Structure 1
Amino acid sequence: MGSDLNITKELQEYILSHGYNLNPVQKEIIDYNTSLGDIKRMQISISQSQFLHLIIKISNINKVLEIGTFTGLSTLSMALALSDDGKIIALDKNEETNKVAIDFFKKANQDHKIKTLIKPALESLDEIKNENFDLVFIDADKMNYIEYYERSLQLLNQNGLIIIDNVLWYGEVVNENNNDKFTKKIKEFNSHISKDKRVEKLIIPLGDGMTVCRKL
Protein backbone atom coordinates (compact mmCIF):
# COMPACT_ATOMS: atom_id res chain seq x y z
CA MET A 1 0.00 0.00 0.00
CA GLY A 2 1.31 3.44 -0.90
CA SER A 3 2.01 5.98 1.84
CA ASP A 4 2.28 9.75 1.99
CA LEU A 5 5.69 11.31 1.50
CA ASN A 6 7.56 12.78 4.45
CA ILE A 7 7.98 16.45 3.53
CA THR A 8 11.42 17.75 4.53
CA LYS A 9 12.27 21.45 4.66
CA GLU A 10 14.23 21.13 1.41
CA LEU A 11 11.37 19.35 -0.34
CA GLN A 12 8.89 21.95 0.95
CA GLU A 13 11.01 24.74 -0.50
CA TYR A 14 11.17 22.87 -3.82
CA ILE A 15 7.37 22.46 -3.86
CA LEU A 16 6.78 26.15 -3.17
CA SER A 17 9.30 27.28 -5.76
CA HIS A 18 7.54 25.23 -8.43
CA GLY A 19 3.99 26.25 -7.56
CA TYR A 20 1.78 29.32 -7.80
CA ASN A 21 3.73 32.59 -7.62
CA LEU A 22 2.63 34.86 -4.80
CA ASN A 23 1.39 38.38 -5.37
CA PRO A 24 3.87 41.02 -4.07
CA VAL A 25 1.41 42.07 -1.37
CA GLN A 26 1.04 38.47 -0.19
CA LYS A 27 4.82 38.44 0.23
CA GLU A 28 4.60 41.71 2.19
CA ILE A 29 2.06 40.18 4.57
CA ILE A 30 4.31 37.18 5.15
CA ASP A 31 7.31 39.44 5.84
CA TYR A 32 5.23 41.59 8.18
CA ASN A 33 3.98 38.55 10.10
CA THR A 34 7.53 37.24 10.46
CA SER A 35 8.41 40.48 12.27
CA LEU A 36 5.68 39.80 14.85
CA GLY A 37 7.49 36.87 16.46
CA ASP A 38 5.62 33.88 17.83
CA ILE A 39 2.19 35.24 16.89
CA LYS A 40 3.17 34.54 13.27
CA ARG A 41 1.80 31.03 13.90
CA MET A 42 -1.68 32.49 13.32
CA GLN A 43 -0.84 32.89 9.64
CA ILE A 44 -1.73 30.12 7.20
CA SER A 45 1.16 28.47 5.39
CA ILE A 46 2.18 29.47 1.87
CA SER A 47 1.02 26.09 0.54
CA GLN A 48 -2.38 26.68 2.13
CA SER A 49 -2.66 30.11 0.53
CA GLN A 50 -1.89 28.52 -2.85
CA PHE A 51 -4.47 25.81 -2.21
CA LEU A 52 -7.22 28.29 -1.30
CA HIS A 53 -6.45 30.33 -4.41
CA LEU A 54 -6.70 27.29 -6.68
CA ILE A 55 -9.86 25.92 -5.05
CA ILE A 56 -11.68 29.19 -5.75
CA LYS A 57 -10.42 29.27 -9.32
CA ILE A 58 -11.61 25.75 -10.17
CA SER A 59 -14.84 25.60 -8.14
CA ASN A 60 -16.82 28.52 -9.59
CA ILE A 61 -16.86 30.21 -6.18
CA ASN A 62 -18.09 33.79 -6.02
CA LYS A 63 -19.02 34.44 -2.40
CA VAL A 64 -16.83 33.53 0.57
CA LEU A 65 -17.16 33.70 4.34
CA GLU A 66 -13.97 33.76 6.36
CA ILE A 67 -14.00 33.20 10.12
CA GLY A 68 -10.66 34.45 11.42
CA THR A 69 -8.67 36.95 9.35
CA PHE A 70 -5.52 37.92 11.31
CA THR A 71 -3.45 40.19 9.01
CA GLY A 72 -5.19 39.04 5.86
CA LEU A 73 -3.02 36.49 4.02
CA SER A 74 -5.82 33.94 3.60
CA THR A 75 -8.33 36.67 2.77
CA LEU A 76 -6.14 38.22 0.12
CA SER A 77 -5.21 34.83 -1.34
CA MET A 78 -8.90 34.11 -1.89
CA ALA A 79 -9.78 37.63 -3.07
CA LEU A 80 -7.10 37.52 -5.76
CA ALA A 81 -8.71 34.35 -7.13
CA LEU A 82 -12.26 35.75 -7.20
CA SER A 83 -13.77 37.45 -10.20
CA ASP A 84 -14.05 41.23 -9.95
CA ASP A 85 -17.64 40.97 -8.68
CA GLY A 86 -16.74 38.33 -6.10
CA LYS A 87 -17.27 38.98 -2.40
CA ILE A 88 -15.67 37.97 0.89
CA ILE A 89 -17.15 38.68 4.30
CA ALA A 90 -14.26 38.39 6.77
CA LEU A 91 -14.92 38.03 10.51
CA ASP A 92 -12.40 38.86 13.21
CA LYS A 93 -12.58 40.43 16.66
CA ASN A 94 -9.13 42.07 16.67
CA GLU A 95 -9.46 45.67 15.51
CA GLU A 96 -5.69 46.28 15.44
CA THR A 97 -4.79 43.38 13.13
CA ASN A 98 -7.85 44.12 11.03
CA LYS A 99 -6.58 47.63 10.28
CA VAL A 100 -3.30 46.09 9.13
CA ALA A 101 -5.20 43.63 6.92
CA ILE A 102 -7.33 46.36 5.34
CA ASP A 103 -4.21 48.32 4.43
CA PHE A 104 -2.86 45.26 2.63
CA PHE A 105 -6.20 44.71 0.84
CA LYS A 106 -6.13 48.30 -0.42
CA LYS A 107 -2.51 48.01 -1.53
CA ALA A 108 -3.41 44.93 -3.60
CA ASN A 109 -6.50 46.70 -5.04
CA GLN A 110 -8.76 43.99 -3.64
CA ASP A 111 -10.55 45.95 -0.91
CA HIS A 112 -13.70 46.35 -3.05
CA LYS A 113 -14.25 42.59 -2.77
CA ILE A 114 -13.80 42.38 1.01
CA LYS A 115 -16.13 43.41 3.84
CA THR A 116 -14.80 43.02 7.38
CA LEU A 117 -16.90 42.64 10.52
CA ILE A 118 -15.07 43.33 13.79
CA LYS A 119 -16.64 41.63 16.79
CA PRO A 120 -16.82 38.10 18.21
CA ALA A 121 -17.54 35.78 15.28
CA LEU A 122 -20.68 34.25 16.80
CA GLU A 123 -22.21 37.74 17.00
CA SER A 124 -21.26 38.47 13.39
CA LEU A 125 -22.72 35.13 12.30
CA ASP A 126 -26.03 36.22 13.84
CA GLU A 127 -25.90 39.39 11.72
CA ILE A 128 -25.37 37.54 8.44
CA LYS A 129 -27.74 34.64 9.07
CA ASN A 130 -29.68 35.42 5.88
CA GLU A 131 -26.60 35.34 3.65
CA ASN A 132 -25.52 32.37 1.53
CA PHE A 133 -21.98 31.38 0.59
CA ASP A 134 -20.13 29.13 -1.82
CA LEU A 135 -17.16 28.63 0.49
CA VAL A 136 -16.48 29.10 4.20
CA PHE A 137 -12.93 29.13 5.57
CA ILE A 138 -12.64 28.63 9.34
CA ASP A 139 -9.40 29.58 11.11
CA ALA A 140 -10.39 31.13 14.42
CA ASP A 141 -10.55 30.22 18.12
CA LYS A 142 -10.54 26.44 18.40
CA MET A 143 -12.94 26.19 21.34
CA ASN A 144 -15.80 27.31 19.08
CA TYR A 145 -14.93 25.21 16.04
CA ILE A 146 -17.99 22.96 16.22
CA GLU A 147 -20.31 25.95 16.60
CA TYR A 148 -18.62 27.76 13.70
CA TYR A 149 -18.94 24.65 11.57
CA GLU A 150 -22.63 24.13 12.34
CA ARG A 151 -23.45 27.79 11.71
CA SER A 152 -21.43 27.75 8.48
CA LEU A 153 -23.23 24.68 7.20
CA GLN A 154 -26.53 26.53 7.52
CA LEU A 155 -25.17 29.40 5.40
CA LEU A 156 -23.60 27.21 2.73
CA ASN A 157 -25.07 26.60 -0.69
CA GLN A 158 -25.52 22.99 -1.81
CA ASN A 159 -22.20 21.60 -3.08
CA GLY A 160 -20.48 24.48 -1.29
CA LEU A 161 -17.23 23.96 0.59
CA ILE A 162 -16.19 24.41 4.20
CA ILE A 163 -12.43 24.39 4.77
CA ILE A 164 -11.12 24.26 8.33
CA ASP A 165 -7.52 24.94 9.39
CA ASN A 166 -5.41 23.45 12.22
CA VAL A 167 -7.16 20.08 12.30
CA LEU A 168 -3.90 18.17 12.91
CA TRP A 169 -2.87 20.58 15.69
CA TYR A 170 0.91 20.33 15.30
CA GLY A 171 0.55 16.54 15.13
CA GLU A 172 -0.85 16.38 18.67
CA VAL A 173 -4.16 14.81 17.57
CA VAL A 174 -2.45 11.40 17.65
CA ASN A 175 -0.81 11.96 21.05
CA GLU A 176 -2.98 10.02 23.49
CA ASN A 177 -1.16 11.56 26.45
CA ASN A 178 -1.93 15.16 25.51
CA ASN A 179 -4.90 16.34 27.56
CA ASP A 180 -4.52 20.03 26.74
CA LYS A 181 -7.97 21.61 26.31
CA PHE A 182 -7.24 22.79 22.77
CA THR A 183 -5.95 19.39 21.66
CA LYS A 184 -9.02 17.73 23.15
CA LYS A 185 -11.29 20.24 21.41
CA ILE A 186 -9.65 19.64 18.01
CA LYS A 187 -9.99 15.87 18.50
CA GLU A 188 -13.65 16.36 19.39
CA PHE A 189 -14.15 18.52 16.32
CA ASN A 190 -12.49 16.00 14.01
CA SER A 191 -14.67 13.24 15.41
CA HIS A 192 -17.76 15.40 14.89
CA ILE A 193 -16.88 15.96 11.23
CA SER A 194 -15.98 12.33 10.57
CA LYS A 195 -19.50 11.25 11.61
CA ASP A 196 -21.35 13.98 9.71
CA LYS A 197 -23.29 12.46 6.81
CA ARG A 198 -24.34 15.90 5.53
CA VAL A 199 -20.94 16.37 3.91
CA GLU A 200 -18.17 14.61 2.03
CA LYS A 201 -14.87 15.30 3.77
CA LEU A 202 -11.14 14.91 3.47
CA ILE A 203 -8.20 15.91 5.68
CA ILE A 204 -5.31 17.33 3.67
CA PRO A 205 -1.88 17.54 5.39
CA LEU A 206 -1.09 21.07 4.26
CA GLY A 207 0.26 23.44 6.88
CA ASP A 208 -1.22 22.37 10.21
CA GLY A 209 -3.83 20.22 8.47
CA MET A 210 -6.97 21.30 6.59
CA THR A 211 -10.32 19.55 6.43
CA VAL A 212 -12.27 20.11 3.22
CA CYS A 213 -16.03 19.40 3.37
CA ARG A 214 -18.53 19.47 0.50
CA LYS A 215 -22.15 19.99 1.46
CA LEU A 216 -24.38 17.28 0.00
Structure 2
Amino acid sequence: MSTDKANSWVYAEEFLGEDEVLLRARERAAQLGCAPVQPGEGAALSVLAAAVGAKAAVEIGTGTGVSSLYLLRGMPADGVLTTIDLEVEHHRAAKEAFADEGVRPTRTRTISGRALDVLPRLTDGAYDLVLVDADKENAPAYVEQAVRLLRAGGVLAVAGALWHDRVADPARRDETTTTVREIGRKVRDDDRLLPALLPAGDGLLVAVKR
Protein backbone atom coordinates (compact mmCIF):
# COMPACT_ATOMS: atom_id res chain seq x y z
CA MET A 1 0.00 0.00 0.00
CA SER A 2 1.37 3.41 -0.96
CA THR A 3 1.80 6.06 1.72
CA ASP A 4 -0.92 8.19 0.14
CA LYS A 5 -3.34 5.26 0.03
CA ALA A 6 -2.57 4.35 3.65
CA ASN A 7 -3.12 7.95 4.72
CA SER A 8 -6.43 8.02 2.85
CA TRP A 9 -7.56 4.85 4.63
CA VAL A 10 -6.69 6.31 8.04
CA TYR A 11 -8.45 9.56 7.14
CA ALA A 12 -11.59 7.65 6.13
CA GLU A 13 -11.52 5.54 9.32
CA GLU A 14 -11.21 8.64 11.49
CA PHE A 15 -13.61 10.77 9.43
CA LEU A 16 -16.46 10.62 11.95
CA GLY A 17 -14.75 9.57 15.15
CA GLU A 18 -16.45 7.69 17.96
CA ASP A 19 -18.22 8.96 21.05
CA GLU A 20 -17.85 7.77 24.64
CA VAL A 21 -20.60 5.16 24.35
CA LEU A 22 -18.81 3.41 21.48
CA LEU A 23 -15.40 3.79 23.12
CA ARG A 24 -16.65 2.17 26.32
CA ALA A 25 -18.11 -0.70 24.29
CA ARG A 26 -14.69 -1.10 22.65
CA GLU A 27 -13.02 -1.20 26.05
CA ARG A 28 -15.33 -4.02 27.08
CA ALA A 29 -14.48 -5.82 23.85
CA ALA A 30 -10.77 -5.60 24.64
CA GLN A 31 -11.41 -6.98 28.12
CA LEU A 32 -13.41 -9.93 26.76
CA GLY A 33 -11.17 -10.62 23.78
CA CYS A 34 -13.73 -9.60 21.14
CA ALA A 35 -12.77 -8.05 17.80
CA PRO A 36 -15.47 -5.48 16.98
CA VAL A 37 -15.97 -3.78 13.63
CA GLN A 38 -13.66 -0.86 12.97
CA PRO A 39 -15.06 2.68 12.74
CA GLY A 40 -15.23 2.73 8.95
CA GLU A 41 -17.20 -0.51 8.89
CA GLY A 42 -19.47 0.76 11.63
CA ALA A 43 -20.20 4.02 9.85
CA ALA A 44 -21.03 2.12 6.67
CA LEU A 45 -23.41 -0.12 8.61
CA SER A 46 -25.24 2.91 10.00
CA VAL A 47 -25.62 4.35 6.50
CA LEU A 48 -26.84 1.03 5.09
CA ALA A 49 -29.38 0.60 7.89
CA ALA A 50 -30.65 4.13 7.30
CA ALA A 51 -30.71 3.80 3.52
CA VAL A 52 -32.82 0.64 3.62
CA GLY A 53 -34.98 1.94 6.48
CA ALA A 54 -34.23 -1.22 8.43
CA LYS A 55 -37.14 -1.82 10.81
CA ALA A 56 -36.10 -5.44 11.33
CA ALA A 57 -32.43 -6.47 11.36
CA VAL A 58 -30.45 -9.51 12.45
CA GLU A 59 -26.90 -9.47 13.75
CA ILE A 60 -24.94 -12.73 13.90
CA GLY A 61 -22.25 -12.11 16.51
CA THR A 62 -23.18 -9.52 19.14
CA GLY A 63 -19.80 -9.13 20.80
CA THR A 64 -20.00 -6.22 23.22
CA GLY A 65 -22.46 -4.28 21.08
CA VAL A 66 -20.21 -2.06 18.97
CA SER A 67 -21.74 -3.06 15.64
CA SER A 68 -25.16 -3.25 17.33
CA LEU A 69 -24.91 0.43 18.25
CA TYR A 70 -23.95 1.40 14.73
CA LEU A 71 -26.91 -0.52 13.32
CA LEU A 72 -29.36 0.89 15.86
CA ARG A 73 -28.19 4.44 15.11
CA GLY A 74 -29.07 3.95 11.46
CA MET A 75 -32.36 2.16 12.03
CA PRO A 76 -35.65 4.05 12.49
CA ALA A 77 -36.83 4.72 16.04
CA ASP A 78 -39.20 1.76 15.95
CA GLY A 79 -36.67 -0.61 14.39
CA VAL A 80 -35.89 -3.87 16.20
CA LEU A 81 -32.46 -5.53 16.18
CA THR A 82 -32.27 -9.27 16.82
CA THR A 83 -28.72 -10.07 17.86
CA ILE A 84 -27.32 -13.57 18.36
CA ASP A 85 -24.24 -14.67 20.30
CA LEU A 86 -23.13 -17.90 21.92
CA GLU A 87 -21.59 -16.12 24.93
CA VAL A 88 -23.96 -14.86 27.63
CA GLU A 89 -21.14 -12.61 28.89
CA HIS A 90 -21.08 -10.86 25.54
CA HIS A 91 -24.77 -10.11 25.76
CA ARG A 92 -24.31 -8.77 29.27
CA ALA A 93 -21.66 -6.35 27.99
CA ALA A 94 -23.79 -5.40 24.99
CA LYS A 95 -26.73 -4.60 27.25
CA GLU A 96 -24.46 -2.21 29.16
CA ALA A 97 -23.75 -0.47 25.86
CA PHE A 98 -27.45 -0.31 25.03
CA ALA A 99 -28.15 1.21 28.45
CA ASP A 100 -25.38 3.78 27.92
CA GLU A 101 -26.97 4.66 24.59
CA GLY A 102 -30.45 4.93 26.10
CA VAL A 103 -31.85 2.25 23.78
CA ARG A 104 -35.34 1.13 24.79
CA PRO A 105 -35.44 -2.58 25.73
CA THR A 106 -38.14 -3.18 23.11
CA ARG A 107 -35.68 -2.24 20.35
CA THR A 108 -33.34 -5.18 20.92
CA ARG A 109 -33.87 -8.92 21.12
CA THR A 110 -30.79 -10.73 22.38
CA ILE A 111 -30.65 -14.48 21.79
CA SER A 112 -27.96 -16.61 23.42
CA GLY A 113 -27.11 -19.77 21.54
CA ARG A 114 -25.46 -21.25 18.46
CA ALA A 115 -26.41 -19.15 15.46
CA LEU A 116 -26.88 -22.24 13.30
CA ASP A 117 -29.52 -23.43 15.78
CA VAL A 118 -31.22 -20.04 16.08
CA LEU A 119 -31.27 -18.83 12.47
CA PRO A 120 -33.49 -21.62 11.06
CA ARG A 121 -36.19 -20.55 13.52
CA LEU A 122 -36.34 -17.00 12.12
CA THR A 123 -38.87 -16.14 9.42
CA ASP A 124 -37.96 -16.26 5.73
CA GLY A 125 -37.93 -12.92 3.94
CA ALA A 126 -38.81 -10.96 7.08
CA TYR A 127 -35.68 -8.84 7.56
CA ASP A 128 -34.35 -5.66 6.00
CA LEU A 129 -30.70 -6.16 6.93
CA VAL A 130 -28.56 -9.04 8.17
CA LEU A 131 -25.01 -8.58 9.47
CA VAL A 132 -22.66 -11.55 9.66
CA ASP A 133 -19.90 -10.80 12.18
CA ALA A 134 -19.15 -14.09 13.92
CA ASP A 135 -16.74 -17.02 13.68
CA LYS A 136 -15.37 -17.39 10.17
CA GLU A 137 -15.50 -21.20 10.31
CA ASN A 138 -19.29 -21.16 10.09
CA ALA A 139 -19.64 -17.90 8.15
CA PRO A 140 -20.53 -19.57 4.81
CA ALA A 141 -23.53 -21.22 6.46
CA TYR A 142 -24.44 -17.93 8.18
CA VAL A 143 -24.40 -16.13 4.83
CA GLU A 144 -26.69 -18.70 3.23
CA GLN A 145 -29.13 -18.37 6.13
CA ALA A 146 -28.90 -14.58 5.89
CA VAL A 147 -29.94 -14.58 2.25
CA ARG A 148 -32.97 -16.68 3.16
CA LEU A 149 -33.96 -14.23 5.90
CA LEU A 150 -33.74 -11.12 3.73
CA ARG A 151 -36.68 -9.61 1.89
CA ALA A 152 -36.22 -8.47 -1.70
CA GLY A 153 -34.25 -5.22 -1.50
CA GLY A 154 -32.77 -6.20 1.87
CA VAL A 155 -29.07 -5.81 2.61
CA LEU A 156 -26.51 -8.47 3.51
CA ALA A 157 -23.32 -7.28 5.23
CA VAL A 158 -20.32 -9.46 6.10
CA ALA A 159 -17.71 -7.87 8.37
CA GLY A 160 -14.00 -8.68 8.19
CA ALA A 161 -14.23 -9.45 4.48
CA LEU A 162 -10.56 -8.57 3.85
CA TRP A 163 -9.41 -10.49 6.95
CA HIS A 164 -6.40 -8.47 8.12
CA ASP A 165 -5.45 -7.68 4.50
CA ARG A 166 -4.78 -11.35 3.80
CA VAL A 167 -7.66 -12.06 1.39
CA ALA A 168 -6.22 -10.00 -1.46
CA ASP A 169 -2.93 -11.92 -1.39
CA PRO A 170 -3.34 -15.21 -3.33
CA ALA A 171 -0.30 -16.63 -1.54
CA ARG A 172 -2.20 -16.57 1.75
CA ARG A 173 -3.90 -19.95 1.96
CA ASP A 174 -4.54 -20.55 5.65
CA GLU A 175 -7.97 -21.97 6.42
CA THR A 176 -9.59 -18.76 7.68
CA THR A 177 -8.33 -16.62 4.80
CA THR A 178 -9.43 -19.23 2.28
CA THR A 179 -12.90 -19.38 3.86
CA VAL A 180 -13.34 -15.60 3.83
CA ARG A 181 -12.11 -15.42 0.23
CA GLU A 182 -14.58 -18.13 -0.79
CA ILE A 183 -17.46 -16.26 0.86
CA GLY A 184 -16.62 -13.25 -1.30
CA ARG A 185 -16.62 -15.36 -4.44
CA LYS A 186 -19.93 -17.00 -3.61
CA VAL A 187 -21.64 -13.69 -2.85
CA ARG A 188 -20.16 -12.16 -6.02
CA ASP A 189 -21.41 -15.05 -8.16
CA ASP A 190 -24.86 -15.43 -6.56
CA ASP A 191 -27.52 -14.33 -9.04
CA ARG A 192 -29.82 -13.47 -6.13
CA LEU A 193 -27.47 -10.72 -4.96
CA LEU A 194 -26.06 -7.40 -6.17
CA PRO A 195 -22.69 -7.18 -4.33
CA ALA A 196 -19.85 -4.78 -3.56
CA LEU A 197 -16.70 -5.11 -1.45
CA LEU A 198 -15.96 -1.98 0.57
CA PRO A 199 -12.40 -1.41 1.87
CA ALA A 200 -13.69 0.20 5.09
CA GLY A 201 -12.17 -1.15 8.29
CA ASP A 202 -11.20 -4.79 7.79
CA GLY A 203 -13.41 -5.00 4.71
CA LEU A 204 -17.19 -4.97 4.50
CA LEU A 205 -18.81 -7.23 1.92
CA VAL A 206 -22.29 -5.94 1.12
CA ALA A 207 -25.04 -7.08 -1.19
CA VAL A 208 -28.66 -6.28 -1.94
CA LYS A 209 -31.04 -9.18 -2.43
CA ARG A 210 -32.72 -8.89 -5.81
TM-score (ref. length: structure 1)? 0.87
Kindly report which structure 2 residues correspond to 1:38-187, keeping only aligned pairs within 5 A, or say none.
39-40=33-34, 42-110=35-103, 111-130=105-124, 132-187=126-181
8 Å CA contact retained: 2:85, 2:114: yes
Deviation of 1:105 (Å): 0.7
Structure 2 counterpart of 1:32: 28
- Give the partner amino acid of 1:86: G
- Give the partner amino acid of 2:23: K
Structure 2 counterpart of 1:6: 5
Question: Which structure exhibits the higher relative contact order, with contacts defined as CA atoms closer than 8 Å and separated by 6 or more residues?
Answer: 2
How many residue pairs get aligned? The number is 207
- Summarize deviations over 1:131-156 as a string: whole Å, max 9, x none: 71000010111111221111111110
Question: Using a 3 Å threshold, how does the CA distance of structure 1 residues 192 and 124 change in structure 2: closer, same or farther?
Answer: same
Deviation of 1:70 (Å): 0.5
- Which one of 196, 205, 208 corresponds to residue 202 of structure 1? 196
- Summarize deviations over 1:42-100 as a string: whole Å, max 9, x none: 11001111111122222222111000110000001111222221100001101112111
Question: Using a 3 Å threshold, how does the CA distance of structure 1 residues 12 and 34 change in structure 2: closer, same or farther?
Answer: farther
The gaps in structure 2 that reach 5 residues or longer are none
- Partners of 1:30 and 1:43 in 2: CA distance: 7
* Alignment root-mean-square deviation, CA: 2.1
Deviation of 1:122 (Å): 0.6
Which piece of structure 1 moves more, 178-187 or 150-159? 178-187
- Partners of 1:16 and 1:168 in 2: CA distance: 15
- Partners of 2:181 and 2:15 in 1: CA distance: 33
- Give the partner amino acid of 2:77: D
Structure 1 residue matching 2:81: 3-state secondary structure: strand
Deviation of 1:178 (Å): 2.6
The gaps in structure 1 that reach 5 residues or longer are none
Question: Using a 3 Å threshold, how does the CA distance of structure 1 residues 159 and 178 change in structure 2: closer, same or farther?
Answer: same
- Give the partner amino acid of 1:176: P
Structure 2 residue matching 1:171: 3-state secondary structure: coil
Deviation of 1:12 (Å): 4.9
- Give the partner amino acid of 1:114: T
TM-score (ref. length: structure 2)? 0.89
Structure 2 residue matching 1:6: 3-state secondary structure: helix
